Amino acid sequence: MKEELENLRQNYTMSEFSEALANESPFKQFEVWFAEAAQSGLMEPNAMAISTVSTDGKPSSRMVLLKGFSETEGFIFYTNYHSRKGNELLANPKASLLFWWPTLERQVRVEGNVLVAPEAVSDAYFRSRPAGSKLGAAASPQSKVLASREELEGYFKKWEQEFPYGDISRPENWGGYMVQPTYFEFWQGRTSRLHDRITYTPQPNGQWLRQRLAP
């Protein structure tokens, strides 16, 4: 296994990314790359790893789905506020996001401060979800220890019996977060591991400073 892992490698040759190609706005640059990822045939191009930190400095990461982004709202995702990430964001409202689009040999990192989304935003999104997803959000005591799979399914059946058509209001412990960026990094794979890394950091004049990092 060790030898097999050591020999696993891929030479990236698809594209390049430079300061001249980078949009002045990281949000517009992300919009361009996200559209290309969506058109590339990737399953769930909006999947992103979000990393949070506990009160004792322990980091944790998990995959969530991006459900909206804009310069005013930031990057929006939804979850249980009582989950591990919810509790960690309550104590330390900062997060890092990572998108990996292998078919394009690209990744994007976003770091920022996190705000709870307005209730109206969370309500509107919850109403748009399929019935099963609504019931699942209400039924799951996310991140809590379960005795068995049957226990979880029992919670779901209880809610399903009470609301057979999924016609329920958003639970108070479930809703959106908005990651408001303070840092972007756009990474394009290149040959010989000489990858392109272009970062954006905000400036006092409201503009974004673009810089290249060594790979």
Q: Above pLDDT 70, what percent of the chain?
A: 100
Annotated catalytic residues are 193
pLDDT tier, 16 (very low <50, low <70, confident <90, very high otherwise)? very high
Output the six-digit token pair for 38: 């969506």
pLDDT tier, 94 (very low <50, low <70, confident <90, very high otherwise)? very high
pLDDT of residue 1: 87
pLDDT of residue 37: 98
Distance from the first to the final alpha carbon of the chain: 27
pLDDT of residue 183: 98
DSSP 188: E
Exposure pattern of 3-20 as b/e (b: 16+ CB <10 Å)?
Answer: eeeeeeeeebeeeebeee
Q: What is the pLDDT of residues 36-78, one digit of tens each?
A: 999 999 999 999 999 999 999 999 999 999 999 999 999 999 9
For residue 203, pLDDT beyond 90:
yes
Partnered with residue 49 across adjacent β-strands are 63, 98
Q: pTM (2 decimals)?
A: 0.94
pLDDT tier, 125 (very low <50, low <70, confident <90, very high otherwise)? very high
Which range is least confidently modeled, 5-9, 10-14, 78-82, 158-162? 5-9
Q: Mean pLDDT, to the nearest integer, of 203-209?
A: 95
Look at the block and give the residue holding tokens 């950091």.
201
Partnered with residue 100 across adjacent β-strands are 107
- Alpha-carbon span 73 to 48, nearest angstrom: 17
pLDDT of residue 166: 80
Q: Mean pLDDT, to the nearest integer, of 169-191?
A: 97
Q: Where are the domains of the chain?
A: 12-128+171-212
pLDDT of residue 89: 98
pLDDT of residue 102: 96
| 197 vs 10: which has the higher pLDDT | 197
Whole-number mean pLDDT of the chain? 96
Q: Mean pLDDT, to the nearest integer, of 109-130?
A: 97
pLDDT of residue 198: 98
pLDDT tier, 10 (very low <50, low <70, confident <90, very high otherwise)? confident
Q: Mean pLDDT, to the nearest integer, of 145-154?
A: 96
The domain made up of 12-128+171-212 has a fold known as Pnp Oxidase; Chain A (2.30.110)
pLDDT of residue 123: 97
Output the six-digit token pair for 10: 């891929």
